Structure 1
Amino acid sequence: MANNLRDTCVRIANGLATFKHRPPSITPLSRLAGQLQQSGGALERRAAKDYDAIAGSLMQAVVAGAGLSNRQLRDAAWCLWSTTPALAQNQATSDALLRSFLLADSPRPFLTLASSFMASFSDQMPAQKPTSDTLAALAIRWGGPWGILQQKFKFFDLTQGPRLLARAVIKQDKPATDILKEAGLSAINAKSGYAKAVTVSLLDQLALGGEKDHIARLGRIRRYALTEGGKPLYEDLRPNLIEALLRPFENVTAEKPVRDAFLEVVLYLFGDPRLKPENWSFVPAVLREIVQRWLTEQSLRQFLDIVDRVADDSMWRYRRAFWEGVFNKGLIDDAWVAFGPDGKRLAKELFGKEAKFASLETEGRQIESGHAVLLLHIGDGVVADWSHNGKCNIWSDATDRSAPRLFKLSYGSDEIRIRKGSGNYETDSLLSLMHLHSPTYHWQGKVAERLRRMTGVQIKQPDYRLRK
């Protein structure tokens, strides 16, 4: 039995030795991998070499008129912009190198040049136009993913490439990486120069109305121009960001939920301009005015909406109608709110964690947790209107030493009222008025007259009459 098994194994071994069709030394899988590499399916990365030294020797070779091998051309691609010396800074050297890339008999130098170009891409890079023209020609010659991208997006064109890819990102609501993968190219480096150029173009197109739906535009900005934590992908693109966020509102009235959604992002990115004006020094005046107007309306709404919930005030709806009427007349220049504990909690729930307001602190007497005070700049004066049974306090001159200043982060009760105790108080420059006889519009008429003296604008009863 053992001899028979041994003889059989020997015969099989001898047969394999003389078999004419041996297994190929290059497997189909290896061949496929090679084809993928040749077609440019992956962006290349710089190897760990001393490219400064390589750049120096390559420059000498080019000056001497020596021909470069494909391997040298691939090294040269990484030495065009990011080495000392940068070969692209010398026009004669860069022209000679680009001619060599055009004459190369292998796609590998082109693939490396394309990867280097994307990594270093900027509008300041030397030899940018001749390099982009060379890459465009080579992409058509060698085909593959780069050829597809060149035909579909004019990918290597300095302006059209980023613009058309950014347009596709907006239209398809896909990251550029996914669009590139669909063409067969591996993920673009999010920090590459080309990726930044696409982001610039995306923001600029959104600023000019590239997405008509405001909430959809906000979503694209969040997904494609901000990090997962909500910070800018590129700090130096803050001017482009603010334009994309706000410019489409220049001649448009946005709904309250839309304004609140944009304010949350804007305030997180740039801070509240009322509290951090230095952060807004670079923002065009028209865009600052949009945010200022929204914040004024939001602060007024914070007060009215929150007090609706926390104040036990049967006459409250008359106060709401009055101040909304004053706002609609365009008399409120700035608004700020100070909340007790209940109001602070509800304000964050209703208006988002970036909503800004002040704390109302105990001073001399216990402030109820639901108390709130609305502070307004109207004309030359300041108004502090208290919730609950509090009074409406008006300083006709905002420069009066006793007048409160808006946009502090906390207020004591005594600094935002004119007098303690019950009863009214009235002088030429001061008014402390209880909210009495609201259904007959008694206090509203007296406040409206005081505001007329401060602004020159008459507010008539139909402007603030309660609509039942």
Structure 2
Amino acid sequence: MKLAALLKQPPGFNPPALAEPAQLRAAIGRVLARWPDIVADPPENDREKLVQEMLRRLDEDDWSDLPTAFVTKAARALFDPLRRSRSDLARLRQFYVEELSVSTRRSFLGGMASVYVGSYEPGAPHTRALASALQAARSRLGGRWVTLEEELPEWLDPVYAPEIIAARMTKMAHPWGELKAMGFSAPHAPGLMDHAHLEFVRLTRPVLSHRSGQERLFGWLRPEGQEARASGAAEAISAILGHWLARDPSSEDQRYIIENLVGCYGDPRVSASGAWAGVPEQHRAVILRWLTGENIRFFLDVVSAVEESHMWEPRRKFWLSLHEEGRIDGAWVAFSAEAANYARHQARARSGQSTLRYGLQTAGGSRVNTSLLVLKIGNRIVVEGSHSYKIHIFRANSHHAPSLYQARYDCEQIRLSAGVDARSHIGDWQGWVRERI
């Protein structure tokens, strides 16, 4: 075939052996790190055009002015989930497999290796065909694929490669970095690594009640300087939270898990889509319960610091006791500007980042420093406040009741709402609250 000729080196071509000085190796490493795949991932609206153009050229035996980059880009489209099983494209897929078996062009071989990794589906016909052709071409691969061959020859196993990779990952202190060093330039890439990730989560699940297991998994989900892994995130979140359906970790471990999950995937109360959408309700309920307690403590810690008052200790005991009784269904904080500034500084000092979300209290004048704690307790909405702000209780179905998880609240608007019970923190105010909830 003429394409085969294009993708082969000329007959008798023997490239001279060149020294590989350290500077050259370093330059190669930088290039591979910046462009981990030599196959461009084409936009969805271009994919069918690419495939049809390759099909036309195959029908007409027309390989003129055809760059290797176009051939491998079309392969990415041809072996994507929408096209890799289409019967009308079977002969084009077979054509690629045959070319892969005979080509000596390293750019094409490397591109097809990348297509194999990115389209990997254990045991699928296209995976078996690509794996078989690449196994025959092993000695002709170059670049990072040589390193991968040396470190993990099982990467071309069309059925068990994910399990083998995952088993190796469980022995790594830092799976993402160690996989990169083995030759996986993009360890979070789809295909083979999606399946390896799910198997890694399954194998790691038994140790996720311990800090060491949690640290390894969080280090894999969001390596330093990288975005959090999106594919398979719900399974990872569920594996972590599954240990705490009937019991709670220590307060230190609970905070560690909250900071990492919210840091990776956002607050499930305000970003219920994405990774959290795939987490079972009973598992989401665990972190929602934890976040309720964290928000109550967060509010009490901050307002106790910015407003000196002997009243905060009994308030702390009362609201936390209700939470421990399981009475509080949800909690949200709206800080004044002063309190929000203090909260940001404290969060950065503790962990370098602020993962707990909160709203802002926007009333000015004499209420400029007031902060609010908004609670859902059964069929009631309860609003606690700082700086001598009364407790306000609404029926949850009242259109005057403030909603939880809002960005802004006006404490004066709440105070002046119709149909609200309000009381100062004097006398038996705790009994008054209990009677109404």
Q: Same fold (TM over 0.5)?
A: yes
Residue 306, structure 1, aligned to residue 296, structure 2: no
Give the 3 Å change call, closer, same or farther, for CA 226–196 of structure 1 in structure 2.
Answer: farther
Q: Is the 8 A contact 1:45 1:115 kept in 2?
A: no
Q: What CA distance in whole angstroms lies between the structure 2 residues aligned with 1:278 and 1:53?
A: 38
Offset at 1:285?
1.6
Give the 3 Å change call, closer, same or farther, for CA 46–318 of structure 1 in structure 2.
Answer: closer
Please state whether the residue corresponding to 1:189 is helix, strand or coil: coil
Offset at 1:253?
1.6
Residue 287, structure 1, aligned to residue 277, structure 2: no
Aligned-residue Cα RMSD (Å) equals: 4.9
Offset at 1:333?
0.9
Give the 3 Å change call, closer, same or farther, for CA 333–204 of structure 1 in structure 2.
Answer: farther
Q: What CA distance in whole angstroms lies between the structure 1 residues aligned with 2:243 and 2:99?
A: 48
Q: What CA distance in whole angstroms lies between the structure 1 residues aligned with 2:430 and 2:287?
A: 29
Q: Is the 8 A contact 2:293 2:320 kept in 1?
A: no
Residue 367, structure 1, aligned to residue 367, structure 2: yes
Q: Is the 8 A contact 2:359 2:408 kept in 1?
A: yes
| Aligned AA (1:393) | H
Residue 337, structure 1, aligned to residue 333, structure 2: yes
Choose the corresponding residue for 1:316, options 298, 307, 312.
312
Q: Is the 8 A contact 2:335 2:358 kept in 1?
A: yes
Q: What CA distance in whole angstroms lies between the structure 2 residues aligned with 1:263 and 1:169?
A: 24
Residue 387, structure 1, aligned to residue 382, structure 2: no
| Aligned AA (1:206) | V
Residue 206, structure 1, aligned to residue 201, structure 2: yes
Q: What CA distance in whole angstroms lies between the structure 1 residues aligned with 2:156 and 2:433?
A: 66
| Aligned AA (1:360) | Q
Q: What CA distance in whole angstroms lies between the structure 2 residues aligned with 1:402 and 1:53?
A: 62
Task: State the match for 2:161 in structure 1.
Answer: 161
Please state whether the residue corresponding to 2:156 is helix, strand or coil: coil
Please state whether the residue corresponding to 1:155 is helix, strand or coil: helix
Task: State the match for 2:431 in structure 1.
Answer: 445
Residue 231, structure 1, aligned to residue 227, structure 2: yes
Offset at 1:269?
4.7
| Aligned AA (1:433) | R
Give the 3 Å change call, closer, same or farther, for CA 122–110 of structure 1 in structure 2.
Answer: same
Give the 3 Å change call, closer, same or farther, for CA 200–295 of structure 1 in structure 2.
Answer: farther
Task: State the match for 1:14 in structure 2.
Answer: none
Give the 3 Å change call, closer, same or farther, for CA 163–404 of structure 1 in structure 2.
Answer: same
Offset at 1:159?
4.2
Residue 297, structure 1, aligned to residue 293, structure 2: yes
Offset at 1:236?
4.8
Give the 3 Å change call, closer, same or farther, for CA 384–136 of structure 1 in structure 2.
Answer: same
Please state whether the residue corresponding to 1:172 is helix, strand or coil: coil
Question: What aligned pairs does 1:72-87 form with structure 2 within 5 A after superposition?
Answer: 81-82=75-76
Which structure's CA Rg is the greater one? Answer: 1
Q: What CA distance in whole angstroms lies between the structure 2 residues aligned with 1:434 and 1:325?
A: 20
Offset at 1:171?
2.1
Offset at 1:327?
0.9
Q: Is the 8 A contact 1:312 1:388 kept in 2?
A: no
Give the 3 Å change call, closer, same or farther, for CA 59–358 of structure 1 in structure 2.
Answer: same
Q: Is the 8 A contact 1:338 1:374 kept in 2?
A: yes
Q: What CA distance in whole angstroms lies between the structure 1 residues aligned with 2:399 and 2:109?
A: 72
* Cα displacement string for residues 216-271 of structure 1 (whole angstroms, at most 9, x for unaligned residues): 455445543446555345x5555445445544544552333433344344445544
Task: State the match for 2:24 in structure 1.
Answer: none
Q: What CA distance in whole angstroms lies between the structure 1 residues aligned with 2:408 and 2:366?
A: 15
Task: State the match for 1:263 in structure 2.
Answer: 258
Task: State the match for 1:358 in structure 2.
Answer: 359
Give the 3 Å change call, closer, same or farther, for CA 314–232 of structure 1 in structure 2.
Answer: closer
Offset at 1:275?
3.2
Offset at 1:147?
5.9
Residue 405, structure 1, aligned to residue 400, structure 2: no
Give the 3 Å change call, closer, same or farther, for CA 98–398 of structure 1 in structure 2.
Answer: closer
Residue 325, structure 1, aligned to residue 326, structure 2: no
Q: Is the 8 A contact 2:208 2:239 kept in 1?
A: no
Offset at 1:306?
1.6
Note the residue ranges of structure 2 that are not aligned, 5 or more in a row.
1-13, 22-31, 41-49, 62-67, 348-352
Please state whether the residue corresponding to 1:407 is helix, strand or coil: coil
Q: Is the 8 A contact 1:118 1:192 kept in 2?
A: no
Offset at 1:106?
9.4
Task: State the match for 1:127 in structure 2.
Answer: 126
Q: Is the 8 A contact 1:136 1:157 kept in 2?
A: no
Task: State the match for 1:465 in structure 2.
Answer: none
* Cα displacement string for residues 354-395 of structure 1 (whole angstroms, at most 9, x for unaligned residues): 3222222335x41263x3222211121121222343322223
Give the 3 Å change call, closer, same or farther, for CA 115–348 of structure 1 in structure 2.
Answer: same
Question: What aligned pairs does 1:171-190 form with structure 2 within 5 A after superposition?
Answer: 171-175=171-175, 178-179=178-179, 181=181, 187-190=183-186
| Aligned AA (2:186) | A
Q: What CA distance in whole angstroms lies between the structure 2 residues aligned with 1:51 and 1:431?
A: 68
Q: What CA distance in whole angstroms lies between the structure 2 residues aligned with 1:100 and 1:355?
A: 54
Q: What CA distance in whole angstroms lies between the structure 2 residues aligned with 1:340 and 1:98?
A: 64
Q: What CA distance in whole angstroms lies between the structure 1 residues aligned with 2:180 and 2:125?
A: 26
* Cα displacement string for residues 90-135 of structure 1 (whole angstroms, at most 9, x for unaligned residues): 7678779879988x79998997597355454322975322443565
Q: What CA distance in whole angstroms lies between the structure 1 residues aligned with 2:78 and 2:358?
A: 53
Please state whether the residue corresponding to 1:254 is helix, strand or coil: coil
Q: Is the 8 A contact 1:358 1:408 kept in 2?
A: yes
Q: What CA distance in whole angstroms lies between the structure 2 residues aligned with 1:311 and 1:338?
A: 15
Q: What CA distance in whole angstroms lies between the structure 2 residues aligned with 1:110 and 1:418?
A: 71
Q: What CA distance in whole angstroms lies between the structure 1 residues aligned with 2:406 and 2:96?
A: 63
Offset at 1:45?
5.2
Q: Is the 8 A contact 1:303 1:374 kept in 2?
A: yes
Q: Is the 8 A contact 1:339 1:373 kept in 2?
A: yes
